[in-house]
Structure formats: structure tokens, C-alpha cells
């Protein structure tokens, strides 16, 4: 799996829980993070390079653990790759279906909020619900630097969440893989009555299903799958922040592509 940075580790966490016996390779393209500031051609090129590198290391399935890369590069990757490619879609459909009052907020990067994919998802699944989208510039960068709580996070969240308070949402969709690491801070600001949902568990279920359909899944047993991080960025920084986000240290290898 890959992401422009470390946000996709939230997806890795869910995939590891669902597939304890599988080996997982995660590429953090930190030297090019964030993808939201790159043009489409560069995102497609980077995604293709990373996918090829993961396949060369034996990947059976590739998860694009990045909303921007999914919206820009997914179709190209699927058209040029023989293995299954699983993309990330904001959990708008289940959020609307499970919202008790039909008041749903979506917190995402500016590029995702401005993009066609999110607009199409909302149009397809909104029904009678009110869906409020809020761009959150800088929020993913805080997580990327290892900040998931404290004054910096609170200072950024307070004004960002004002439109969601005004809309009296009962459900919040996290439209960026970095944001699940902020779940505790978000609950503190929005209140425990607001249900927060993301795409990680759905992606993990999809990966498990695809591997089963391929007959390529490992049966859970005494062997625990390995988890290995690769990065185009600073190896020490990635290792330090990843350990902070996941609560455990993982081996990190610098791989320039």
C-alpha cells in the first residue's frame, strides 16, 4: 500500500487487524508530500512508480491509501497493472445511511473537497440528508509531523469545525487518511454524540475479500505477518512519527524512486 505520506498508516492499522498473517509493505512518498500540491501528471507518474516497486517486492494486492492518488491515478493504475488495485473512497454512503438525523459533515483536504469524486459521491448518496463539506488546509501536515493532540491541533480545529457546529451534524466523515489519528481531538471538539467514520475498515474488508477470491490469502495461525515501511523521504523522521502514530516501532527503509 502507499500514500503521499504517513496518513495511510491509519489504513495499515485496519488492514493489519483484519489480515494478521499477511506481510505488509507500506510506501510513504514523503519527499513528494502532499500530493494535493502536485499536478495530475506527477501524481499518476509517482503512483505508477511506487506500484511497480511494490509489485517487484511481491505485492499480491496494492491499496492506494490516499484520497488524492485514488481520485487522480486509480483508473490508470488499474488499466496498466495485472494485480488488483484497491482505492480509497470517503465513507459518504454509510455515513448518510446511518446518520440518525440526516446531518452529515465531511472533513477533507482542500483538493478532495474541490474534486469531482467527492461531489459525485455526495450527489449519488445524499438523498434527503444535508451534507456539509469542510476543507481543512494544514490539518494533514500536523499529523505528518506527529501532532495529534495539543495546542497546535486545537488551535487549527477550533475554526475549521465551526461550520460543522453550525450545521449541528450528527455524523462526521473523515475524508483524509491522516484524520483518523485525530479522532480523540475531534471528539473533544464536536462532542461524543457525533459519530465519526472513515474508510479504513471497509478497505481492510475489501482487501481480505479480494485475497480470498484470488485464493492468495494466508490463513491466520501462529505466524504473524511482517510490516515494513519504505519511504522516499527522511528515514529517521518517518520511523519516529510512524512509531508515535501506531504506538510501536517498525523497520524503515529509504527507497528513492
The string of pLDDT tens digits covering residues 150-188 is 999 999 999 999 999 999 999 999 999 999 999 999 999
Is the model's pLDDT at 221 over the cut of 70?
no
Domain boundaries, the chain: 2-88+200-254, 92-197
* 53 preceded by a cis bond (ω within 30 of 0): no
pLDDT at 36: 82
CA separation (Å) from 140 to 1, 110, 116, 148?
Answer: 18, 11, 20, 10
Task: Put residue 215 in one of left, alpha, beta given phi > 0 → left and psi -120 to 50 → alpha.
Answer: left
Contacts of 103 (CB under 8 A, 6+ apart): 129, 130, 132, 167, 168, 169, 170, 171
Looking at the whole model, is its pTM more than 0.85?
yes
- Fold of the CATH domain 2-88+200-254: Rossmann fold (3.40.50)
Q: Does 92-197 match 2-88+200-254 at the fold level?
A: yes
Is the model's pLDDT at 223 over the cut of 90?
no
Cell of 93: 454512503
> How confident is residue 204, by pLDDT bands cut at 50, 70 and 90?
very high
Contact 95, 124 (CB under 8 A): no
> How confident is residue 215, by pLDDT bands cut at 50, 70 and 90?
confident
Looking at the annotation, which residues are catalytic?
66, 176
Pairwise CA distance, residues 106 & 103, whole Å: 10
Q: Where are the beta strands (DSSP E) in 168-255?
A: 171-174, 195-197, 227-231, 252-254
The string of pLDDT tens digits covering residues 105-123 is 999 999 899 989 999 999 9
Is the model's pLDDT at 219 over the cut of 80?
no
- State the CATH architecture for 92-197: 3-Layer(aba) Sandwich (3.40)
The string of pLDDT tens digits covering residues 69-94 is 998 999 999 999 999 999 999 999 99
Amino acid at each position: 500500500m502507499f500514500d503521499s505520506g504517513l496518513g495511510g498508516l491509519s489504513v495499515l492499522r485496519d488492514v493489519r487487524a483484519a489480515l494478521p498473517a499477511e506481510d505488509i509493505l507500506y510506501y510513504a512518498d514523503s519527499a513528494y508530500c502532499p500530493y494535493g500540491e502536485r499536478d495530475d501528471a506527477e501524481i499518476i507518474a509517482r503512483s505508477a512508480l511506487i506500484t511497480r516497486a511494490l509489485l517487484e517486492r511481491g505485492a499480491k494486492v496494492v491499496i492506494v491509501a490516499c484520497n488524492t492518488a485514488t481520485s487522480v491515478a486509480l483508473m490508470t493504475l488499474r488499466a496498466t497493472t495485472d494485480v488488483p488495485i484497491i482505492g480509497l473512497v470517503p465513507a459518504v454512503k454509510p455515513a448518510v445511511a446511518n446518520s440518525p438525523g440526516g446531518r452529515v459533515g465531511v472533513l477533507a483536504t482542500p483538493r478532495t473537497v474541490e474534486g469531482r469524486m467527492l461531489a459525485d459521491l455526495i450527489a449519488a448518496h445524499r438523498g434527503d440528508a444535508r451534507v456539509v463539506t469542510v476543507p481543512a488546509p494544514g490539518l494533514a501536515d500536523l499529523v505528518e509531523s506527529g501532532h495529534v493532540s495539543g495546542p497546535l491541533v486545537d488551535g487549527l480545529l477550533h475554526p475549521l469545525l465551526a461550520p460543522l457546529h453550525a450545521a449541528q451534524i450528527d455524523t462526521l466523515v473523515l475524508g483524509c487518511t491522516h484524520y483518523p489519528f485525530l479522532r480523540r481531538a475531534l471528539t473533544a471538539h464536536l462532542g461524543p454524540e457525533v459519530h465519526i467514520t472513515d474508510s479504513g475498515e471497509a478497505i481492510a474488508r475489501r482487501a481480505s475479500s479480494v485475497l480470498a477470491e484470488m485464493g492468495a490469502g494466508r490463513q491466520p495461525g501462529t505466524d504473524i505477518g511482517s510490516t515494513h515501511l519504505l519511504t522516499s523521504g527522511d528515514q529517521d523522521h518517518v520511523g519516529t512519527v510512524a512509531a508515535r502514530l501506531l504506538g510501536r516501532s517498525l523497520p524503515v527503509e529509504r527507497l528513492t524512486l
